[in-house]
Amino acid sequence: MVDASVNLLPANVRAMLESLRERAISTDFAARLLGNTTPPARRLRPRQTTDAESVAGFWARLREDGCADDAVQAELADAAAIERAEVYGANIENYIGTVKIPVGLIGPLRVNGLNAAGDYFVPMATSEAALVASYGRGAELVSAAGGVTAAVVQEGVLRTPAFVFDNMLTCGLFVNWVADNTDALKAAAETTTRYGKLISIEPFMDVNVVFLLCRYSTGDAAGQNMVTVATEAMCRYIVENMPVPAVHWFIEANFSGDKKASYLGLQTGRGRKVTASVTVPYDLLRKYLRADPQKMLAYGQVAGLGAVLSGQLGAQAHYANGLAAVYLATGQDAACVSESAVGFTRMEPRDNALFFSVTMPNILVGSVGGGTGLPSQSAALSIMGLKGAGKAAALAEVTAAVCLCGEISIIAAIASGHFTRAHQKLARFR
């Protein structure tokens, strides 16, 4: 007799359980699940310096282990990668070469920003065919409509240390001490940086644990490392001077939203909060996108419902595509796409035109520091005219404008029934 409860399981779950049951019969599979404590023949020895000799050493090891041959080595460790080994080595450990990602160009994209003003050619690094074409047609449209209005409206990178105490009373005394000593804490943090400024400290208390939400301005750097070092110095000052002992303290307590999509980031921002908008007449939508404005509005209603029902943080189509491509091309921390890709896209009818906007609270970009000094990434920033000091806010506004172009393009493509055909033409059957 078949157990009726089994039939209540979805077909895919039943198939997975059957596969596991079949594999569990295998003696080899059962043994593997117990683990293998035999150590590898020889561990990989990290290198303190990066030069041609250290690169050769890693490739020799890969060859010994049967993981590489001449063709594999040539792809990752070409002449340019070897010649610039010390340059790349400043941004990575155990350097063995470089990965080549195709870089496409969109533009000129007109941005009428608080900080960015002009027509920009934007390099985008991606392996996804059709992506650059989509953003490119969005850029052509918005530029024909007069350009994107954009502004950085808020700035601040969070780091959130936590202090654990024995009880609530001690915790409360600590919060009072922090409130009375903010000037000293600010001074301690800012001893580590010429450009970073501690602009707020907000205690958040949970019984016997206090999180300190420390927000920094970071000049023209994205600032992740900057705020970590500054917060470490501040916490050392706290530990040496606070009137009550802590059981534990931690430099980051997973409250800041660092490289994670979070409600805190959505509401208060982490990095640069940018809002960007454009109003596009109906005739331009038909001319450049071959789209029916009414169908775009109808799709927008359904997509908004889908965002709510699925529990999105915000409501938008695909910020991550544009962000990842711009971040990779310009030397930003690609992992920050996870938190940057939240926000809100709006679309409204206005006098024979559609108004489009994006509000993105967590754009983490810099025009100096990090990967911006790498050869290719530095060149990409130079193409945009956004390399070096004084350019980070403009870069954030251009990044938001790029995402707006992508939102308009994909909305039009799906509403008009062009989405699948475009991907077949430019990707699958190209």
Active site positions, annotated: 128, 259, 333, 423
In whole angstroms, give the CA distance from residue 402 to residue 68.
39
Task: Find out whether 326 and 332 touch, Cβ atoms under 8 Å.
Answer: yes
Backbone φ and ψ for 198, nearest 5 degrees, come out as -80, 110
Q: Across-strand partners of 357?
A: 277, 346
Structure tokens at 362: 């967590």
Residue whose tokens read 């994107």 = 148
% helix, strand, coil for the chain, step of 5: 50, 20, 30
Secondary element (H or E) of residue 97:
none
Terminal Cα distance for the chain, rounded: 53
- DSSP one-letter string for 352-392: SEEEEEEEEEEE---SBSGGGGSHHHHHHHHHHT--STT-H
Task: Find out whether 263 and 218 touch, Cβ atoms under 8 Å.
Answer: no
Q: Across-strand partners of 156?
A: 271
Residue whose tokens read 């290719």 = 376
- Sign (positive or negative) of CA dihedral 328, 331, 332, 334: positive
In whole angstroms, give the CA distance from residue 383 to residue 278.
24
Q: Can you count the helices (H) and strands (E) in the chain?
A: 19, 11
SS3 194: coil
Task: Find out whether 342 and 313 touch, Cβ atoms under 8 Å.
Answer: yes
Q: Across-strand partners of 422?
A: none
Q: Angle at Cα 257 formed by Cα 254 and Cα 263, nearest 5°?
A: 115
In whole angstroms, give the CA distance from residue 411 to residue 307.
14
In whole angstroms, give the CA distance from residue 401 to residue 219.
21
